[in-house]
Structure 1
């Protein structure tokens, strides 16, 4: 039995290592590419031995891209700031709208409640191209085209359904008896919601906000169609490295590394909320 147990552990360890290599190797290769020039990246066969360079990161920070056709101005840092503004603004607005709505769907039963909730969730499933044409026409009539407010508002199609359904599940896992006892003590509904319900569901709210931020950060189509280069996020701004003289793979790799850092740092900071959120339902009842 001991030999079988040792063999099982060895097989499990090998399988875990293989899975980690499979998923992490592309990230490792992108990091390597960010320190190489195009000649090193495109050589055959590829090699992990090379003379590293910081030219790709220098190009992103200075905004000057040197190509065979001349120098081009890029606004990567501006695009990075746009991504931060759009993602943060959309998540904050989604939390303001979605958390009370999630609580209402979890605690109160009303006519067509499930149908309304599923309709909101269907916005998340709908392909962006399905709504882009009418949205572009409405935005033009309302004067929201090429505006931060318009983009933040349209990002609700990404963030709001996600936050609504995830947070609703966490509110349902919290026993309503605690809230009833607090209400019996003479406190209002708003006070109960603010001081009891939200703190108990805080891990779920944090987890939903983090996931919504990542989805908003990675959005490409909405900003590509509804915003100009001055207000486009980093996902669209990376197209600047596809030039007439060729594709700048090194700059693209460096841009990927820098664009991933905010969401990675946020995930590392909020991981304790994710763990608490996953274990929230385990103590129910």
Structure 2
């Protein structure tokens, strides 16, 4: 039995190592590419013996990209700021609208509620190209084309359905008896929602907000069609590295590292909220 237990531990450790290497290899490879020149990256055969350089990150920060055809101005840091503005504002608006709506769908059953909720969810399933052309025409008519407000509004097609359905499930896991007891003591439904429901569903709301932020940050099509260069996020701004003189692989790798750093940091920080959210069902009964 002892030999079997040791063998099981070894097999589990080996399997875990293979899984970690499989998922971490692309990230490690991108990190290595970000500190290499194009000549080193394109060397045949590939080599791990190279002199690291920060020139790729310097080019992104300063906005000056040196190519074989000459110097090229890029606005990557502005694109990074645009991504932060669009993603943060979109998630905040979606939380302000989606959390009360999720609570209403979870606590107040009315005729057609499921149909309305599913209709909102269906917006998440629709391909962006299905709505981006009519939206671009409407935005030009009402003056929202190439504006932050217009993009934040469109991003609700990404964030709002996601937050609505995830947070609704967390509210449904909270026993309504707790809220009823608070209401009996003389408090209004608004006070009950603010002081009881929101704190209990806090981990779920945080997890939904994190997922919505990641989806908004990674969006490409909406910003490509509805925004000009000064409003475009990093997902669209990365196209600047495909130049007439070739593809700047080192700068692309450095841009990927800088682009994924915020979402990766948020994901690591919010792990505890995801774990806490799993225990919400314990309050039932």
- With the shorter chain as reference, the TM-score category is over 0.9
Deviations 1:146-173 (A, max 9, x none): 0000000000000000000000000000
Let me know the Cα RMSD of the aligned residues: 0.9
1:123 — aligned with what?
Answer: 123
Q: TM-score, normalised by structure 1?
A: 0.98
2:111 — aligned with what?
Answer: 111
2:281 — aligned with what?
Answer: 281
1:194 — aligned with what?
Answer: 194
1:282, distance to aligned residue in structure 2 (A): 4.1
1:179, distance to aligned residue in structure 2 (A): 0.7
Map of 1:9-48 to 2, 5 A cutoff?
A: 9-48=9-48
1:140, distance to aligned residue in structure 2 (A): 1.0
Map of 1:194-273 to 2, 5 A cutoff?
A: 194-273=194-273
Whether 1:147 aligns to 2:140 is no
1:283, distance to aligned residue in structure 2 (A): 4.6
For residues 230 and 203 of structure 1, the distance between their equivalents in structure 2, rounded to whole angstroms, comes to: 35
1:278, distance to aligned residue in structure 2 (A): 2.2
Q: Which ranges in structure 1 are unaligned for 5 or more consecutive residues?
A: none
For residues 232 and 57 of structure 1, the distance between their equivalents in structure 2, rounded to whole angstroms, comes to: 20
Whether 1:136 aligns to 2:128 is no
Q: Which ranges in structure 2 are unaligned for 5 or more consecutive residues?
A: none
Deviations 1:108-138 (A, max 9, x none): 1101100111111111111111111111111
For residues 169 and 14 of structure 1, the distance between their equivalents in structure 2, rounded to whole angstroms, comes to: 37
1:271, distance to aligned residue in structure 2 (A): 1.8
1:87 — aligned with what?
Answer: 87
1:78 — aligned with what?
Answer: 78
Deviations 1:54-78 (A, max 9, x none): 0000000100011111111100110
**Pairs aligned (count):** 285
For residues 137 and 59 of structure 2, the distance between their equivalents in structure 1, rounded to whole angstroms, comes to: 37
Map of 1:155-194 to 2, 5 A cutoff?
A: 155-194=155-194
Q: TM-score, normalised by structure 2?
A: 0.98
1:281, distance to aligned residue in structure 2 (A): 2.2
